[in-house]
Amino acid sequence: MNALGAGRGGAGFVGVLGWPLDTTLSPILHNVAFRQLGLDWVYLRWPVAPPDLEDALRGMRALGASGANVTMPHKATIVEHLDELTGDAEAIGAVNTVQRVGDRMIGHNTDIGGFGEFLVGDAGFHPKGASALVLGAGGAARAVVKALADLEVRNISVAARKTENARAVASLVTEGHPKTEARVVTWDHAHEDVGSNALVVNATPLGMGGEAPLQDAEFNSNQYVVDLIYAPPSTPLLERARAQGASAWGGLGMLIRQAAASFEIWTGRQAPLDAMSAAAIRAIGHLD
């Protein structure tokens, strides 16, 4: 059974690969979507430690899984275990969606499109010609930088604790994006760069446990601030940005958008976005 065939009426199962995977809304989003469309599918949690990732993929093949979502810390390391990458996944070297077609495992990245759709369609940000600061150097940061370059943001500044990792993320815009320039700012001085950017994106885990990146930054009413964390729904960064007049958004919108794209890859059916959004909003307040 391949993913496309299953989506045309057969049963299927998918899941999310991550570690430690303490908090995830993905099973709720997708299982609601399967029920809404009457599909005999199920979405499972698969906590997989980094040393066991290759074995987990072998298990998916052996059991006939239709695919998987991929989250921290596997988005980059899973690449070497797949048979093929689609364009966005190959461009940034990060995968968040695996599709099984026959015996082949194909890696996609729906974070890029998901972030862009959220930023423009939900948050109402106008990216063309704007400047942005992105915190982080992992798979999420790579997706955000690629999405912003595709949307013709004029300047992107990247800050990460390891400067060499920030340089690697910034290098994603050196080819194919002539209208975008990227540079690296040091982590310790990133707060000084906030005021010169219309958009600030936190693509790090800082905030999940109450941490506050950019503690000394000053925000203003002309700025948009996005924290990709969705649990808790309001982080210290968002609270401070809102208090200073910025338009501040959590990561739930991007989560729903990328999940809908993954759903469509696996099933070949249009995702019931309204039902997924409603389920996410109901569930978000009950996450630990």
Q: Which residues are catalytic?
A: 75
Of the candidates 1, 5, 19, the one whose C-alpha atom is nearest the C-alpha of residue 65 is 1
C-alpha–C-alpha distance, residues 201 and 213, integer Å: 11
- H or E stretch at 61: helix 53-63
C-alpha–C-alpha distance, residues 224 and 130, integer Å: 11
C-alpha–C-alpha distance, residues 91 and 143, integer Å: 10
C-alpha–C-alpha distance, residues 225 and 207, integer Å: 14
**Any idea what the Cα angle at residue 111 is, between residues 171 and 135, rounded to 5°?**
50
Which structure tokens are listed for 263? 């759903």
Q: Are strands 224-227 and 155-159 parallel, antiparallel or unpaired?
A: unpaired
C-alpha–C-alpha distance, residues 82 and 245, integer Å: 45
Residue 227: exposure state from Cβ atoms within 10 A (0-12, 13-18, ≥19)? buried
- Tokens 């998916």 sit on residue: 60
Say which DSSP state 122 is in: I
Q: Coil, strand or helix: which one is 138?
A: coil
Of the candidates 11, 13, 16, the one whose C-alpha atom is nearest the C-alpha of residue 72 is 16
- H or E stretch at 126: none
